[in-house]
Structure 1
Amino acid sequence: MTMKFKRTGAAFTAILLAMPTLLVSAETNDTSKEEDSPQGEGSFSAKHEVVYATLTATGEPGEMYVVNNFTVEEPGKLMDYGPYSSVQNLTDLTGIEQEGNEVQFTAKENEFYYQGNLDNMPLPWNFTVTYLLDGKEIDPNQLPGEDGEIELQIETTKNDSGEELFFENYLMQISLTLDSNRFKNIEAEDGALANAGKDRQVTFTVLPEKEETFSVRANVTDFEMNAIEIAAVPSSMSIDAPDTDEMQQEMMSLSDATAEVNRGVGGLKDGISELNSGVAMLFDGSAQYRDGISQLQANSSELVNGSASIQSALQQMNDAVGGAGSGSGMDVSQFSQLGEGLRQIAGGLQEVENGLSNLSGQYAQANEALGQSINSIPEASVSEEDIQALYESGADPAVVDGLVENYQAAQTVKGTYAAAGEAFQAISPALDTSAGSLNEMSSNLTAMADQLDSSLASVDIDESIAQLQGGLETLSANYNAFHSGLTEYTGGVDRLAGSYQEVYSGISGLTGGTAELEGGASRLHNGTAELASATSDLPDQIQVEIDEMISEFDKSDFEPVSFVSNENENVEAVQFVIKTESIQKDEDDQEEESQDEEKSFWDRLLDLFR
């Protein structure tokens, strides 16, 4: 109690000592104002407004006042406007008259200040501050003295009730000053951290026309926090356009390269289209060849059966003639039947020969069609570098894989045909040779029948029979060899027909693949054409985007307006200084701590009298 009294007495003494000076100063000021106060109309060259606003800890609006500053050109009476609930002269002791929204005062200094208090005046922004302790939302009044993991979420949005011009043109800076003894492991995404003495300062920036949400996390001990400070000023800096010449040249090179890729893909598409046409012709020729081989296979059994009948008939004739002799009592009329039989055999051989000749012609046509189709496949002209370049061009990898697979399949078919070409070419001459042998045998049999008929009356029967027997033995032996060759040949035809079905199936699959490949190449070309078209004016597009971006953030042409009234003139600047309530423990809890705090000016002044 004694200590408190001593402090009070010392403070009272100091006030008494200072009061005469204050009274003299006030008296002097009043006298000077009465003598020097200008009576006429004054003028000012510029007006500045600083809007001070307080928020609750959660961001709800609180008190607000405006400090108005005038740069006086001509001392005298000045007029200002604003819906103030009260006004106060901050320059001298002269009074200020207020009637409605009109504020009238007399200014004689170069700089004049007065304060106007506002009620229910909306800010251009809404603020919401949310506090989470250990992941759970908490009332800020319950936070002082708490320990744990703290998270602050600060949200700024446009206030539709406020003046839109400030939201569109003002840059906001949100600052939090955190005691480094209380807050550890501070994390602030999108925020800048800096040291401020023994404290840590976190700063967020909100660009004009933007709504943002920021977050600060930290481990806290014995929670206390100073006010969140928000400053809003015009974003009036001018943004110079960057030098984009080099970038435009690079983009032009990219545009040219894209166009070149499109041309290359166009050529690839044309080549694949030609490949697909050639494979289609190959498929048609292969179908004709397959049909010819199938027909040849179907006729082979008839050829073999017919040849077997001829072989059996010759053997029977040879046996019959061999059993006959001069003393056998053979009827000479049977020789005339023998001649007729020889002619029938000759006719049968002629039919077989005709069948082989027709078959040879059909095979030749089918083989020629197949050869033309195979040869229509373009020679290999795509290198591994070309294929790799196609993969790196940005084309669809699935389409490129299809292109490469079908290209390789086509080249495989072409190579296989080239390797087996001699075998295909040998079939037709073999058919011709067989047909020629049959023709020769048919002619020989016919000649034998004619000789037999002409010599029956004049030739010794026994001698003729001996000659006939010798001729039939030779003919039967030769025909046995021919029949064996014919049987082997038809077996080869059967194997060829069975094997070629696989070749035909492969060519059929190749045809479907190249058709799909052509469709994929066409789609690829459409895509590269669209890409080339989209990038043809890429440098100009980039410049337009840069200009639009600069115009979005360049607010250098902003002309300030008054926050309180659009009737105010010569407004040179308007600034906003906004603060939330600090979150502190009760004074009783801090009394012991406050003894160790730095002494104020008044404490040091009073210490002079202690």
Structure 2
Amino acid sequence: MKKVLVAVLSIILALELSVPSYALDIMPKKEEVVYGLLSTNGSVKNIYVVSIFDKGEIIDYGNYSKIINMTTSDKLNINGDKITVNTAAKKLYYQGNLVSKELPWNISLKYMIDGKEISGTELAGKSGFLKIMMSIKQNPEVNSTFFNNYALQIAILLDTKLCDNIKADNATILDAGGKKQITYIVLPGKGADISVTADVHDFEMDSVTINGIKLYLDMSIDTDKFTQEISKLSDAIKKLDDGSGSLLYGVNQLSNGIKKYTEGLKAFNEGLSEFNDGTNKLSAGADNLEKGLSELSKQNDALEKGALSMQQYVFDTINLKLSEKGLKIPALTPDNYSMILSDIPELVSVKKQLDSIVEYTRGLKGYMNGVTKLNAGAVDLAKGLSQLNASSSKISYASEELYNSMSEINLAAKKLQKGIASYKEGTADLRRRTFNIDNEINKIIDETIDDILGSDSKAVSFVSEKNTNVSSVQFVLKTDGIKLSKTKKTFKKSKTLSFYQRLLKLFGLYKTEY
């Protein structure tokens, strides 16, 4: 029994030494609203945190210079950075004044009147051409989770009685009761450089407000169905590549035949003594050539329809995928895709894939036009040979013309051969590039969405890493307003403020009676 008791005590002692004391506490679920009061230049004056709990035994952590119970008379007990209270209230709100003055974002505000920099406190009452410059960057002194996963909404309110010709690039500008509300959205993981200009007189401005929230996106994608459709596309591209190989072989044979035929014409021109025998063979060869080209040209419509169908399939599939990913862009077509995707660097690989299919379709049309012209030439050649047989008196002239025509056809056949070889390289490249197209498109869209919205990591406490059961954190930041100084009136009488009045007063929004 003594040995068992010693073993049990050893285990308990080891656990106590290895686990932080706060980890043994049952951490209640909490919400944090971080209020930051900023100077007109964006520097932090004070940070207040309102922590929100449900009723019961509450344990919280934070390095505060002062704490205030905002909803009940329950005593808040503080021991170092540990705050405890037991409340029966449905909701308990308490305010803590943080010792730290560090936010996840370094915010800077500068002002210029007629090209000269001026401080925010000196700006009140000024007139001229105003430029407001706001810079937002990551603060490396604060947990990067907030910068990388929280979006900012920035609102600048300008009085239209005092401001004219208001301009703000990349902002949403709304009319709000005689004022212009200029709103910017800064995405997670992104800084910002903002510029607002206006012609002003007797200038005053309300506080600049900045709200920080975590973005969430719940998307369900049927990847199996998408993969099946993309697999069909990949199989079609493989067949196209195989078919282009067969087409290249046929064109090579045709080109070699035309080359030999042209060489035969040259020999015929040099040996008119064998005229009759030669013209018969030449006529037969021309007939065969015409038939072969005629058969080849009959495939033009089928090839064109197949290429256009494949092109449409690629555009439909990519449009479907982009739509399922929630990207708000117009439907892509062969006419507009290049202009639309050129402004979205994250989708450059999608643009390259669409470039390939469009270039292929155009190349195929060029090939079909070449076959049509070649067939027309063959028809003319056959007619010429018929006239040659019918009119021996024009043999020399016709033979020379025929040879010249066949030389041009031979050159055209070589160009056709080169074009089809390039076309084959294109289909092979398309096959190679689309080998893993489904995974590539999924990866690109997922990376793009993650870059816009941030990760879906669990919320963490801004106040202390010891608070492990945080459901949400919100930032409400506000600069000092730029106002002309007014003579203060004598305070008549104090009044007990409600919870909501104290909350407004905390952020400078409660107007006290005088």
Judge conservation of contact 2:384–2:402 (CA < 8 Å) in 1: no
The within-5 A match list for 1:405-424 is 405=370, 407-409=372-374, 411-424=376-389
SS in 2 for 1:380: helix
For 1:266-316, what per-residue CA distance to the aligned partner results, in whole angstroms no more than 9, with x for missing partners? 5654553343133112112112112214xxxxxxxxxxxxxxxxxxxxxxx
Partner in structure 2 of residue 165 of structure 1: 145
Unaligned runs of 5+ in 1: 1-40, 294-358, 428-491, 592-598, 604-610
Structure 1 position 530, deviation (Å): 3.6
Counterpart of 2:388 in structure 1: which amino acid?
A
Partner of residue 154 from structure 2, selected from 168, 174, 192: 174
Q: Quick check: which one's helix share is greater?
A: 1
CA–CA separation in structure 1 for the residues paired with 2:201 and 2:223: 52
SS in 2 for 1:45: coil
Unaligned runs of 5+ in 2: 1-23, 312-357, 490-509
Structure 1 position 399, deviation (Å): 7.2
Matched, 1:290 2:201: no
CA–CA separation in structure 2 for the residues paired with 1:133 and 1:369: 93
Q: With structure 1 as the length reference, what TM-score do the two structures score?
A: 0.56
Matched, 1:370 2:282: yes
Number of equivalent positions: 413
Partner of residue 209 from structure 2, selected from 225, 229, 233: 229
Matched, 1:138 2:117: yes
402 and 108 in structure 1: CA distance in 2 versus 1, 3 angstrom threshold: closer
Judge conservation of contact 2:27–2:467 (CA < 8 Å) in 1: no
Counterpart of 2:380 in structure 1: which amino acid?
G
Counterpart of 1:519 in structure 2: which amino acid?
K
Partner in structure 2 of residue 329 of structure 1: none
For 1:86-105, what per-residue CA distance to the aligned partner results, in whole angstroms no more than 9, with x for missing partners? 22334559686564xx3456
SS in 2 for 1:282: helix
CA–CA separation in structure 1 for the residues paired with 2:85 and 2:224: 58
SS in 2 for 1:193: strand
Judge conservation of contact 1:49–1:575 (CA < 8 Å) in 2: yes
Structure 1 position 577, deviation (Å): 1.8
Partner in structure 1 of residue 344 of structure 2: none
For 1:135-177, what per-residue CA distance to the aligned partner results, in whole angstroms no more than 9, with x for missing partners? x463344543344554444333322222111122222211122
112 and 150 in structure 1: CA distance in 2 versus 1, 3 angstrom threshold: closer
528 and 555 in structure 1: CA distance in 2 versus 1, 3 angstrom threshold: same
Counterpart of 2:369 in structure 1: which amino acid?
V
Matched, 1:66 2:49: yes
105 and 388 in structure 1: CA distance in 2 versus 1, 3 angstrom threshold: closer
SS in 2 for 1:138: strand
Matched, 1:51 2:34: yes
CA–CA separation in structure 2 for the residues paired with 1:106 and 1:540: 53
365 and 577 in structure 1: CA distance in 2 versus 1, 3 angstrom threshold: same
For 1:34-81, what per-residue CA distance to the aligned partner results, in whole angstroms no more than 9, with x for missing partners? xxxxxxx99762333332223333333443343444545237xx5634
Matched, 1:561 2:460: yes
423 and 46 in structure 1: CA distance in 2 versus 1, 3 angstrom threshold: closer
Matched, 1:128 2:111: no
Counterpart of 1:191 in structure 2: which amino acid?
A
CA–CA separation in structure 2 for the residues paired with 1:49 and 1:507: 86
Seq. identity, %: 25
Judge conservation of contact 1:44–1:72 (CA < 8 Å) in 2: no
CA–CA separation in structure 1 for the residues paired with 2:243 and 2:202: 71
162 and 286 in structure 1: CA distance in 2 versus 1, 3 angstrom threshold: same
CA–CA separation in structure 1 for the residues paired with 2:66 and 2:194: 36
The within-5 A match list for 1:108-257 is 108=87, 110=89, 111=92, 113-119=94-100, 121-131=101-111, 136=115, 138-141=117-120, 143-235=123-215, 237-241=216-220
Partner in structure 1 of residue 353 of structure 2: none
CA–CA separation in structure 2 for the residues paired with 1:601 and 1:400: 78
- What root-mean-square deviation, in Å, do the aligned CA atoms of Structure 1 and Structure 2 show? 4.3
CA–CA separation in structure 2 for the residues paired with 1:48 and 1:388: 62
Judge conservation of contact 1:58–1:129 (CA < 8 Å) in 2: yes
Q: With structure 2 as the length reference, what TM-score do the two structures score?
A: 0.65
Matched, 1:503 2:402: yes
Partner in structure 2 of residue 479 of structure 1: none
